[in-house]
Chains A and B, each alone.
Chain A
């Protein structure tokens, strides 16, 4: 017979399975600044930051197939809504709350199908500074709204550390200031998740396996970042409030990225 205990256990198994798959994911940081909003991440192979509608963009950690599925579904729902009604009626609040969250919750509860392995970050450009919107969406359909800044990372501990690093949201800050904060937060989050992985892979005292164990904490982030950028590529997507083009979205050019990295380390 199937008891509530079995149900609980089955859900926990699924949760463990997904959490373990998410852990090594390269974090993504969303941050608002005076002239718009930015999403920042370091990609290890695939592109990670995508435009999904006129004032909306998206990044996620997880399995590529699931990320792609959510990306395409989001793009399609928003364009359909924008065509049948108006681009003004398209919002991530509706996308996440009414379309994606129920579908993810349903998929997570289906015992005999593979669950989505995804933790997604949606960002929406407001008309004025301070009115920008972020949503994070989890593999089980849970979602949260954030103002000013939001992150997704491999573990909740890593996410907490990242948000702490960013500190109080400051929508009036300059783009440079915001990107440096985001880059620091990314290093902290990625390092935090890896720390845990090293600890789990080794003995109880994970520090023996941590190559950064002898380095001062504040310096460790930049050493780690420099190392990560040897194999990975920094990626920054912007939605700019002002601009001559029809599209608000653009990726930072490689020159702009080089300058950001140089100023940072």
Chain B
């Protein structure tokens, strides 16, 4: 008989894949390398590449994800054209922040495991099942994250075809999952802009009542503020951010000329309102 294991996770576990055995990749803490708490990976001698700010907001047809293109390692810019909003199936997007290495592995794991499940059992994995798989990957990174490397925080957005609406889920570093009614943000610039989301919802209107143009503009405004207030988040002076939507029709990238137009609009509007220098 040909041996068949239950699922990808147990298969990888059996083969000792590092994704499922984080203690195998985590190095013993070396406190003499650098004073604790100084920069990413302090105490391990390893510096990993981090994605900075990603934002998800609802709109009347689904969900919009935006992200800057920057990836940093401590104070160095590693890459200025990274893609941090990645499709994991026809109706699910993962926006990633934190450790790139681990996040990309998580994306590959999820893509593979969702397909494996569907092809094996001849039915798609439920939304709850998918969220639990993501929690498993986040949780597996805790030993690494405690040493300052390998931690990543995802936002999962999807179009729920049963309830016919976009949905946003965000996670903490332990793998706890929360559903957000309007918006989600993760990454180094996310704390700086957290209150702005609430301000928009309270003073303008809820994101899910906005049309695509309105919601996209607000999301890009938020990203612009994050870039202003967070040293790691990239602005759009050189490289345009990326924006992706999920609707009942599936996943679609916002065309570049549309982004360019809105970004130019924001620059103009923002520029006019900044108080003149004394």
Contact = CB atoms under 8 A, between A and B. Distances in A.
A244 interface: yes
Nearest to A51: B119
Given A73-B2, A107-B1, A79 B8 contact: yes
Interface residues of B, number: 22
Given A51-B119, A83-B108, A73 B250 contact: no
Nearest to B115: A79
A79 B1 CA distance: 19
Given A72-B120, A79-B115, A83-B112, A246 B89 contact: yes
Contacts of B90: 245-247
B21 interface: no
Interface in A69-83: 69-70, 72-73, 75-76, 79-80, 82-83
B250 A75 contact: no
Interface of A: 47, 50-54, 69-70, 72-73, 75-76, 79-80, 82-84, 100, 103, 107, 244-247
B122 A47 contact: yes
Nearest to B88: A246
Listed from nearest, the 8 A-B pairs whose CB atoms lie closest are: A73-B2, A83-B112, A79-B116, A72-B4, A75-B119, A103-B2, A79-B112, A51-B119
A69 B250 contact: no
Given A47-B122, A83-B112, A103-B2, A76 B87 contact: no
17 contacts: A47-B122, A53-B119, A70-B2, A72-B120, A73-B2, A73-B3, A73-B4, A75-B116, A75-B120, A76-B11, A76-B116, A80-B11, A83-B108, A100-B2, A245-B250, A246-B87, A246-B89
Nearest to A70: B2
B109 interface: yes
Interface of B: 1-5, 8, 11-12, 15, 17, 87, 89-90, 108-109, 112, 115-116, 119-120, 122, 250
A84 B5 CA distance: 16
A211 to B, nearest CB: 36
Nearest to A52: B119
A141 to B, nearest CB: 12
A149 to B, nearest CB: 24
Contacts of B116: 75-76, 79
Contacts of A53: 119
A69 B8 contact: no
Most buried by B among A72, A76, A80, A245: A76
A149 B114 CA distance: 31
A54 B3 CA distance: 22
A75 B122 CA distance: 12
Most buried by A among B2, B5, B112: B2
Contacts of A244: 250
Nearest to B11: A80
A47 B122 CA distance: 10
Given A69-B2, A73-B2, 12 more contacts: A50-B119, A69-B4, A73-B4, A79-B112, A79-B116, A80-B11, A83-B12, A83-B112, A100-B2, A107-B1, A244-B250, A247-B90
Nearest to B4: A72
A76 B121 CA distance: 12
Nearest to B251: A246
A52 B115 CA distance: 9
Nearest to B2: A73
A163 to B, nearest CB: 29
Nearest to B89: A246
B241 to A, nearest CB: 24
Contacts of B5: 76
A54 B115 CA distance: 9
Nearest to B105: A83
B249 to A, nearest CB: 9
Contacts of B8: 79-80, 83
B268 to A, nearest CB: 35
Contacts of B112: 79, 82-83
Contacts of A75: 116, 119-120
A28 to B, nearest CB: 18
A54 B111 CA distance: 11
Contacts of B108: 83
A52 B116 CA distance: 8
A80 B15 CA distance: 10
A129 B120 CA distance: 28
